[in-house]
Amino acid sequence: MEYRTKATVMDAEAISRAVTRIAHEILEANKGAGNIALVGIVTRGAVLAEVLAEKIREIEGAEVPVGTLDISFYRDDLAIRLSPEVHRTDIPFDVEDKDVVLVDDVLFTGRTIRSAMDAIMDYGRPCSVQLAVLVDRGHRELPIRADYVGKNVPSSRKERVKVYFEQTDGRDSVEILERADGGDE
């Protein structure tokens, strides 16, 4: 299945500004960096979490703990297909009583976030779980919403919304992709 870029909705500068704003919003909502911890959902959510932690360091001068989470074992569709790759989960801090901010690149159906919440709960009892995403493309299938959103990107189900990072893909951009043959999903 070949996909091609239909439109670029955010470039490197736009991403940078959005991330800066999200960092400020997190700090404002939580009244500082004191009790927060960032947990990025692999792969790109983890990259974003590191970037956010760096921004928070710049803004507040505070070190916020960062963890990475692979939700493969918590997926609700294991009966249909296995995750193509399993990565390590690394939560190097105690989740107990923390305000955990889950970080992901794109929020779509909400199933990934549901799995992530289940996973975090197995590590302990956080004080709160919040959600920061770079892109919200709509089409929720579960009652999940993000607390911090970089950009709302309306899309059709046929399309794909992809976030690319310098660290993982060689460029920073958010693109809408459509099928090369113009067909349906």
Partner 1 sequence: MLSNRHIIEMSDLTPDDIMLILDTAESFKEVNERRIKKLPTLRGRTVVNLFLEPSTRTRTSFELAAKRLSADGINFSASTSATVKGESLVDTAETLSAMACDLVIIRHKYAGAPRMLADHMDAHIINGGDGMHQHPTQALLDLFTMREKLGRLEGLTVGIVGDISHSRVAGSLIPALRMVGARPIVVAPPTLLPARPDVLGAEVATSLDDVLPELDVAYMLRIQMERAEGMPFPSVREYANLFGMNSARLAKMPPHAIVMHPGPMNRGVEISSHVADSPRSVVLDQVNAGVAVRMAAMYLLLGGDASGTAA
Residues forming the site for partner 1 (CB under 8 A): 70, 72-74, 76-82, 86-90, 118, 122-124
Least distance from partner 1 to the Cβ atom of residue 141, Å = 12
Nearer to partner 1, 96 or 166 (CB): 96
Residue 148: closest CA among 127, 133, 128, 129: 133
Residue 93: closest CA among 115, 67, 130: 67
Least distance from partner 1 to the Cβ atom of residue 74, Å = 6
Supply 114's token pair: 């549901």
Q: How far apart are CA 120 and CA 45, in angstroms?
A: 15
Least distance from partner 1 to the Cβ atom of residue 64, Å = 21
Nearer to partner 1, 42 or 146 (CB): 42
Nearer to partner 1, 51 or 120 (CB): 120
Q: How far apart are CA 70 and CA 120, in angstroms?
A: 11
Least distance from partner 1 to the Cβ atom of residue 114, Å = 11
Cis amide bond preceding 43, omega within 30: yes
Nearer to partner 1, 15 or 41 (CB): 41
Residues in Cβ contact with 151 at an 8 Å cutoff, skipping those fewer than 6 apart:
9, 10, 14, 18, 134, 135, 136, 174
Least distance from partner 1 to the Cβ atom of residue 55, Å = 28
Residue 45: closest CA among 119, 128, 133: 133
Nearer to partner 1, 63 or 96 (CB): 96
